[in-house]
Amino acid sequence: MPSPYRAIFAAPGTKAFSFAGFIGRMPLSMMGIGIVTMISQLTGRYGLAGALTLTLALSAAVLGPQISRLVDRYGQRRVLRPATLVSVAAVSGLLLCAQQGAPDWTLFVFCAWVGCVPSVGAMTRARWAEIYRGSPRELHTAYSWESIADEVCFILGPIISIGLSTTWFPEAGPLLAVVFLVVGVFTLTAQRSTEPTPHPREEHGGGFVLRSPGLQVLTLAFVATGAIFGSVDLVTVAFAEAEGEKAAASLVLAVYALGSCLAGAVFGLLHPKGEPSRRWLVGVCAMAVSMIPLLLAGNLLLLAVALFVAGLSIAPTMVTTMALVETHVPRTKLTEGMTWTGTGLAIGVALGSGVAGWVVDAYGAAAGYAVPVVSGALAVLVGIPGYRRLRRPAPTREGQREHEHEGGEQQHVA
């Protein structure tokens, strides 16, 4: 492991919570694509699969930030465990209804409660922020490590989920995702020494964290970015099936995540100077441009190459986003702020899946890659005018006054 990464793990408890967080976030890459694969295996209806993932994301958009808000107030252990059990019960009902061929509406009902799944990535990033507050270089490396962990999950998750659902039984992928969720969350919340200190309601004031103009830009841009990810996932499964190699979709998507993983690993070794907002805008534009070659890929090999190149811009953009979130939200609401960007991403994933599913059903798999191209263009349209907001941190960070002597320096995290 390169020395900057070794250094951040010198703090007690970091290895343990990082490992637990890795296990707990595996469902992020397994659940949505697992539902798509399961429904397509059982019914052959990609439109229904996309609509279910849209329902899942909208549920997460409503419930996820509320869960994180409660975490900021009452702590991770008290909130995450019951929320996880609700999500597990909902996934169990979804799988049972799908296996028994129940009416479509029952699938939507259970999907609406799966959104209680906690944002494990936000929880681990909040722990890093607590440990390395006021240490920009270490925090940059820690966030890069988290992006690497995200991408490793996205390399392994689709392979496991699609592979199990296509070679064992259709429900196997989402079922294993639930197992990872329970093990990860309960192991993470058992580690009390690194859990961020909760802030009671009186420290939060009456404000709403999404009122921050900078966070609004990041969240909205991540809706468009998520649409890229969601549409690429679904269309790639359909494209591989059209090529007669449906199981190979997991390998192609793994190459996409591999590009991001490698870029994130290198980015963590660097200490970039200049405005994070400028780096963020460049990253968003690079992601958008990298979608265009997907329209020209005529086979799975060319598609894999194009996706690898496209993945190179993902992790650096995600790392920079977390630094910007820290700049634009108060410390007492950091978990909620990070969850909002994840929520925007989840909404985009579902919207992209839903639209791509309709396009694939109507016009074929190859035409589906127009959806990530349009999504990338929308991200740029949000990013360019929003750049000015990101350059200016909020002059008064609500809930921070009583902690200015502790946290003022984090407004300059690179």
The span from the CA of 1 to the CA of 18, in Å, is 15
Q: What is the DSSP letter of 198?
A: P
Look at residues 120, 125, 98 and name the one whose alpha carbon lies nearest to residue 181. 120
Domain boundaries, the chain: 3-195+209-394
Look at residues 93, 90, 75, 84 and name the one whose alpha carbon lies nearest to residue 118. 84
Where residue 201 falls among pLDDT bands split at 50, 70, 90? Answer: low
Where residue 394 falls among pLDDT bands split at 50, 70, 90? Answer: low
Q: Is residue 230 a contact partner of residue 357, using CB atoms and an 8 Å limit? A: no
The more confidently predicted of residues 272 and 140 is: 140
The more confidently predicted of residues 66 and 200 is: 66
The span from the CA of 409 to the CA of 172, in Å, is 47
Look at residues 91, 50, 252 and name the one whose alpha carbon lies nearest to residue 180. 91
Looking at this protein, which amino acid is placed at residue 387?
A: Y
pLDDT at position 403 = 40
Residue length of the chain: 414
The span from the CA of 15 to the CA of 128, in Å, is 11
Q: What are the two backbone dihedrals, phi and then psi, of residue 399, each rounded to the nearest 5 degrees? A: 80, 5
Compute the average pLDDT of residues 72-97: 90
Look at residues 251, 104, 123, 97 and name the one whose alpha carbon lies nearest to residue 187. 123
Where residue 185 falls among pLDDT bands split at 50, 70, 90? Answer: very high
**pTM for the whole structure:** 0.74
The more confidently predicted of residues 379 and 336 is: 379
Compute the average pLDDT of residues 368-386: 93
CATH of domain 3-195+209-394: 1.20.1250.20
- E-strand ranges in 82-161 read none
Q: Which residues contact 395 (CB under 8 A, 6 or more apart)?
A: none
- E-strand ranges in 240-391 read none
